């Protein structure tokens, strides 16, 4: 089953469009693995996938602790996404992608700034060969995102001046990406990207909670999946927090249907 269909299936079975970003403080590396596994065990009924960043991969090792986390997540019925923001030359991108897929990840996040030819083409080819997913980074969730993703650009199809994130949205569509990341902190950007993608490419939105993004705004603007990290991982009761967030997403989603 391809990644996009796997996400659809899991979201339906779990009745949740909440993705856990497994963000944990790195100052206790000896506790990272056990805390990660305990968190997954606690919150798995309320989430539809798990996203892992490099600040877990670096201390735990890709084919050591991370592979164990990925295996447990998948045993719990959760697809896994590697937030590696692939952004190098094609040969390097191919190797990076293959390594993460071989470690068990179901999808990787890639940065379209690097382009297609000798850039992300090998990533998409690898994904197709292994029946995995590629999610494109269209607009990030932090304040400085406008300096890159929000800069003016020439639309390669029309020759008109537009914004870089809208060009990237077009690439997500034409490259047949499995998702597009747009920060929940910028619902107006989600709305613009959704107008390009419609329902052809689902929008994944990080930034809810600690960064200030609001579930209602992101969902109404067109976000399909909400990615939440520290609001859950640093909560006194992660399971209860995840349940509350998932329920809120469901309520907001029903109002938009």
Q: How far is CA 186 from CA 157, 173, 207, 211, 212, in A?
A: 26, 20, 9, 11, 10
Could you give all domains of the chain from N- to C-terminal order, each with its CATH number? Answer: 3-256 (3.20.20.70)
85 is catalytic: yes
| 1 three-state secondary structure | coil
Q: By C-alpha distance, which of 139, 148, 77, 74 is closest to 104?
A: 74
Distance between CA atoms of 14 and 223, rounded to whole angstroms?
Answer: 18
For residue 249, pLDDT over 50 is answered with yes
**What's the pTM value of the predicted model, to 2 decimals?**
0.94
Expressed in percent and rounded to 5, the helix, strand and coil fractions of the chain are 55, 20, 25
Q: What is the pLDDT of residues 83-115, one digit of tens each?
A: 999 999 999 999 999 999 999 999 999 999 999
What pLDDT is stored for residue 27 in this prediction?
A: 66
Q: What is the pLDDT of residues 219-235, one digit of tens each?
A: 999 999 999 999 999 99
Q: How far is CA 85 from CA 115, 145, 146, 226, in A?
A: 13, 14, 17, 18
Q: What is the pLDDT of residues 160-206, one digit of tens each?
A: 899 999 999 999 999 999 999 999 999 999 999 999 998 899 999 99
What pLDDT is stored for residue 169 in this prediction?
A: 96
Active-site entry in 71, 85, 128, 243: 85
């Amino acid at each position: 089953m391809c990644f996009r269909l796997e996400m659809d299936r899991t979201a339906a079975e779990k009745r949740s469009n909440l993705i856990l970003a497994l963000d944990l403080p790195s100052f206790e590396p000896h506790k990272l693995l056990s805390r990660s596994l305990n968190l997954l065990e606690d919150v798995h009924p309320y989430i539809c996938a798990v996203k892992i960043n490099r600040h877990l991969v670096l201390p735990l090792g890709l084919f050591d602790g991370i592979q164990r986390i990925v295996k447990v997540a998948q045993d719990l019925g959760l697809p896994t996404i590697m937030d590696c923001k692939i952004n190098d030359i094609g040969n390097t991108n191919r190797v990076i992608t293959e390594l993460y897929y071989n470690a068990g990840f179901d999808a990787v996040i890639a940065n379209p700034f690097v382009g297609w030819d000798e850039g992300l083409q090998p990533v998409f080819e690898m994904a197709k060969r292994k029946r995995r997913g590629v999610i494109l980074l269209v607009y990030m969730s932090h304040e400085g995102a406008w300096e890159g993703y929000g800069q003016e650009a020439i639309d390669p199809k029309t020759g008109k001046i537009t914004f870089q994130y809208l060009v990237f949205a077009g690439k997500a569509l034409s490259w047949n990406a499995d998702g597009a990341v747009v920060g929940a902190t910028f619902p107006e950007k989600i709305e613009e990207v959704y107008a390009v993608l419609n329902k052809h490419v689902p929008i994944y939105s990080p930034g809810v909670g600690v960064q200030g993004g609001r579930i209602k705004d992101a969902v109404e603007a067109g976000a399909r999946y909400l990615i939440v990290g520290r609001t859950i991982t640093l909560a006194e009761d992660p399971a209860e927090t995840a349940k509350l967030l998932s329920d809120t997403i469901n309520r907001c989603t029903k109002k938009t249907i």
